[in-house]
Amino acid sequence: MVALLEPLEAPVDPVDALRRIAFLLERTRAGTYRVEAFRNAVKRVRTLDDDELRERASAGTLQELDGIGKSTAGVIAEAVAGEVPEYLASLQEKSGGPLVDGGEDLYGMLRGDCHLHSDWSDGGSPIDEMVLTGIETGHEWMVLTDHSPQLRVANGLTVERLRQQLKIADGVNRSLAGQFTLLKGIEVDILDDGSLDQTDEMLGRLDLVTASVHSKLRMNADPMTRRMVAAVSNPRVNVLGHCTGRLVTGSRGTRPQSEFDARAVFEACAEHGTAVEINSRPERCDPPDELVTLALEIGCLFSIDSDAHAPGQLDMKAYGCERAERLGVPADRIVTTWDVEQVLEWTGVGR
């Protein structure tokens, strides 16, 4: 089950200290440049043997290495000396607790995540780091859902790149058999006519498909409704991602929600077994409370997802859990509380 990470205590491996700092910065939405400093330092430290690392820490020459700056050098040196680095200790105290009050019981029932990104599209970390953090935070399964080809600004995956990624997912699952499952997925764009931005052949090779609108968000209500109903009725689609497309806060500014007949869309979701995503990113908080309530009344399934673009953002599901618990969404209708066998039976892969 998903859980908060326990604070690191001395002695702390330098790589573990750097990774945990990056994680804590990511989960609290710190600036990208700060996070990258620690993620890059992890990569550099992993190229050094223990003797060289100790010698450089003792001699004060860590900053001579590419990718190591003043702050990261200090963290490494304190960790090498057997201490919990001061910066890490401070972050753990200030930022290591729950992200939000409420939803703790539901958060503890989560097993997986149907929406996350790696550096294969617009995420900030490689697949193995997303998987490792998922395991550390108690996930039993996660779905890798990098973007589809049309979203070029997010480096969406062509057919060939998606094929390559599926081979990597197979390798991950072979190495972690019985410990964790990385499901093969995609966040596929819903095109203007409701069709999907990937070939049927490739969609048929996936375990789970999250479909989202990323373009022409201000389309008139009638065509937008037809577009979304067509997508959620497609047997290849399992989750409707961030359905209104709104932004309520954050560095990208705000954006009003798309206009569509939510009842018609959610009735189609309920009819076809497509889950409505409760997107947990604070800047999205999508769908708004009144639409979650409507989907609940109609009988929809839900998926509480992080939409993580960095490892620390996997914890953002806490925000979605607070909302779902407050609005009375039953845990058994939330697919991210299910075990992997039940998820695959629902998507049809396990039949």
Residue with tokens 């789970």: 208
| Burial (CB count within 10 angstroms: exposed 0-12, middle 13-18, buried 19+), residue 160 | exposed
Can you give the pLDDT at residue 271?
98
Can you give the pLDDT at residue 154?
87
Distance CA 108, CA 183 (A): 21
Can you give the pLDDT at residue 152?
87
Segments of 190-236 assigned E as strands: 208-212
State how beta strands 141-144 and 181-189 pair.
Answer: parallel
Residue 341 token pair: 């066998």
Contact 224, 267 (CB under 8 A): no
Contact 73, 81 (CB under 8 A): no
How far CA 76 is from CA of 6, 81, 307, in Å, comes to 20, 9, 31
Distance CA 285, CA 100 (A): 13
Residue 190 token pair: 């819903």
State pTM to two decimals. Answer: 0.95
Q: State the maximum Cα–Cα separation within the chain, in Å, rounded to a whole number.
A: 68
Contact 313, 283 (CB under 8 A): no
Can you give the pLDDT at residue 250?
77
Residue 29 token pair: 């939405």
| DSSP letter (8 states) at residue 178 | T
* One pLDDT digit (tens) per residue for the chain, 351 residues: 899 999 999 999 999 999 999 999 999 999 888 999 999 999 999 999 999 999 999 999 999 999 999 999 999 999 999 999 999 999 999 999 999 999 999 999 999 999 999 999 999 999 999 999 999 999 999 999 999 999 888 899 999 999 999 999 999 999 998 899 999 999 999 999 999 999 999 999 999 999 999 999 999 999 999 999 999 999 999 999 999 999 998 777 899 999 999 999 999 999 999 999 999 999 999 999 999 999 999 999 999 999 999 999 999 999 999 999 999 999 999 999 999 999 999 999 753
| Cα-based angle 257, 210, 1 (whole degrees, multiple of 5) | 105
State how beta strands 208-212 and 275-279 pair.
Answer: unpaired
Cα dihedral 269, 245, 256, 251 sign: positive
- In three-state secondary structure terms, 347 is helix
Helix %, strand %, coil % of the chain (to 5): 45, 10, 40
What domains are defined for the chain? 14-95 (1.10.150), 104-347 (3.20.20.140)
Can you give the pLDDT at residue 351?
38
CA–centroid distance for 198 within its chain: 21
Distance CA 193, CA 216 (A): 11
